[in-house]
Amino acid sequence: MATHLVMCRCDAKVGIRHMDTNRFDSTARSLGFTLIEVLIALAIISIALATAMRATAMATTTAEESIMRTYATWVAQNRAAELTARRLFPSVGVETGSSDMAGISFRWTTTTNETPNVDFRKVEISVARRDDNDAKRKFATLTVYVPRPNDGTTTGLQP
């Protein structure tokens, strides 16, 4: 006697119904994904994509800040080189100014203090963005010690 098999979906079950015995075999695999499986997969993918976007944004911010720190360090080094090249013994006090580097405006603050050795001055150069309103945010700070010239030049930063 030949058995007739028919694929059917009965009461949300997928399986094979044997026509001659009218029994249902549910061991056959489903042909697709259920709605809940698709929603869970979409949720996992959306969380992974959101995390990847956040990591990319943080990497971009870090790279931009690294560039700013590099430029600010160059501004501070230029200011230190200028102090050395002038061969002037800086006066104690605070001086401010601005410089442009790579099209970006920076403001620098030079704080000069005495040292235990009267022939040296400690000069601290702090650099921040000119348009940054946060006075505490500095991209670079450089400390140099400037010696007193021994060739009879004057004290002070005025040329």
Beta strands across the sheet bearing 5-10: 5-10, 13-18, 24-25
CATH class of 64-147: alpha beta
pLDDT of residue 15: 52
Residue with more model confidence, 9 or 95: 95
Write the DSSP symbol of residue 56: H
SS3 142: strand
Sign of CA dihedral 150, 92, 139, 104: negative
Q: Most confidently modeled of 24-33, 63-72, 126-135? A: 63-72
CB-CB neighbours of 76 under 10 Å:
25
- Among 136, 159, 143, residue whose Cα is nearest residue 86: 159
Which residues are within 8 A (CB) of 153 and not within 5 positions of it... i.e. 6 or more apart? 87, 88, 89
pLDDT band at 114 (very low <50, low <70, confident <90, very high): very high
CA–CA gap between residue 55 and residue 36 (Å, rounded)? 29
pLDDT of residue 26: 53
| Domain-wise residue ranges, the chain | 1-31, 64-147
Taking residues 114-143, what's their average pLDDT?
87
CA–CA gap between residue 8 and residue 6 (Å, rounded)? 6
What b/e readout covers 122-152, taking b as 16+ CB neighbours within 10 angstroms?
bbebbbbbeeeeeeeebbbebebebeeeeee
Q: Would the pLDDT of 76 be above 90?
A: yes
Sign of CA dihedral 117, 114, 98, 58: positive
Dump pLDDT digits (tens) for 11-41: 445 555 555 555 555 555 557 888 999 999 9
